[in-house]
């Protein structure tokens, strides 16, 4: 079976990229990473891609006279690599409607909250301030409204007494590293369909019991 050709957009550390790299090492995984682009030159994630033998290059947004020409350059790199699906993995640029329309339902993002709660920046501080007892992450199709769009999958983790934003972020990040490869697999297997503005998952199985926090003992 041909594997889905995936391009990954990053801005920094690239630990989610690394999780996708590890998943795609398995020849049976239905997606392959064919290019990685960072809007930040020197981002650590570029070195991770290079170490895995994946073509990787910076496209510095600061070198362009606006979002649209920057995104045209991104699309040119992605098209040259024959990309069929784009993953935003810690990509810290807002994208325009034009870019989203070009990649409609072929552009997915990971956000470190249980959307629609806490979109935008400082999500972990927002979650702590709200006193929620469960935090988590979401993989979703990208729509023009920031951190909105049909939800493919979510992972929940408990918020624990004494959590700081940093501690909570680390707990959520571990969940991100499991969720993103899982969601990419579902998409690559052709099991995700957007109906209206809801993502429907074919043959999805049943999750475990509820995660209750505080625990029932």
Which parts of this chain interact with ligand GRF (CB under 6 A)?
A: 10, 12-16, 45, 89-90, 110-112, 173, 176
Q: How far is the CB of 2 from ligand GRF (least distance, A)?
A: 27
> 139 φ, ψ to 5°?
-110, 130
**What DSSP letter does each residue of 96-162 carry, written as one string?**
PHHHHHHTTTSEEEEESS-TTSS-SS-HHHHHHHHT-SEEEEEEEE--SSTT-S-EEEEEEEE--TT
Q: Which C-beta is closer to ligand GRF: that of 15 or that of 213?
A: 15
**CB closest to ligand GRF, residue no:** 90
Q: How far is the CB of 203 from ligand GRF (least distance, A)?
A: 27
**Residue 111 among the catalytic residues:** yes
Q: How far is the CB of 122 from ligand GRF (least distance, A)?
A: 11
Q: Which C-beta is closer to ligand GRF: that of 76 or that of 121?
A: 121
Give, as one character, the DSSP assignment of residue 2.
P
Alpha-carbon distance 79 to 213, whole Å?
Answer: 45
Residues annotated as part of the active site: 111
């Amino acid at each position: 079976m041909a594997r889905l050709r995936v391009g990954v957009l990053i801005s920094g550390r690239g630990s989610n990229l690394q999780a996708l790299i590890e998943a795609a090492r398995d020849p049976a995984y239905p997606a392959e990473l064919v290019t990685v682009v960072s809007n930040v030159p020197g981002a650590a994630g570029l070195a991770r891609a290079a170490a895995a033998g994946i073509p990787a290059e910076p496209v510095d947004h600061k070198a362009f006279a606006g979002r649209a020409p920057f995104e045209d350059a991104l699309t040119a790199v992605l098209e040259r690599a024959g990309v069929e699906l784009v993953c935003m993995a810690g990509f810290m640029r807002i994208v325009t409607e034009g870019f989203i329309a070009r990649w409609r339902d072929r552009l997915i993002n990971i956000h470190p909250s249980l959307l629609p709660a806490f979109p935008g920046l400082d999500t972990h501080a927002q979650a702590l301030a709200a006193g929620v007892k469960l935090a988590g992450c979401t993989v979703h199709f990208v729509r023009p409204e920031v951190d909105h769009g049909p939800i493919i999958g979510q992972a929940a983790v408990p918020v624990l007494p004494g959590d700081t934003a940093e501690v909570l972020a680390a707990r959520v990040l571990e969940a991100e590293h499991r969720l993103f490869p899982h969601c990419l697999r579902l998409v690559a297997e052709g099991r995700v369909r957007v109906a209206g503005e809801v993502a429907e998952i074919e043959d999805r199985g049943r999750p475990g019991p509820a995660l209750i926090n505080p625990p029932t003992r």
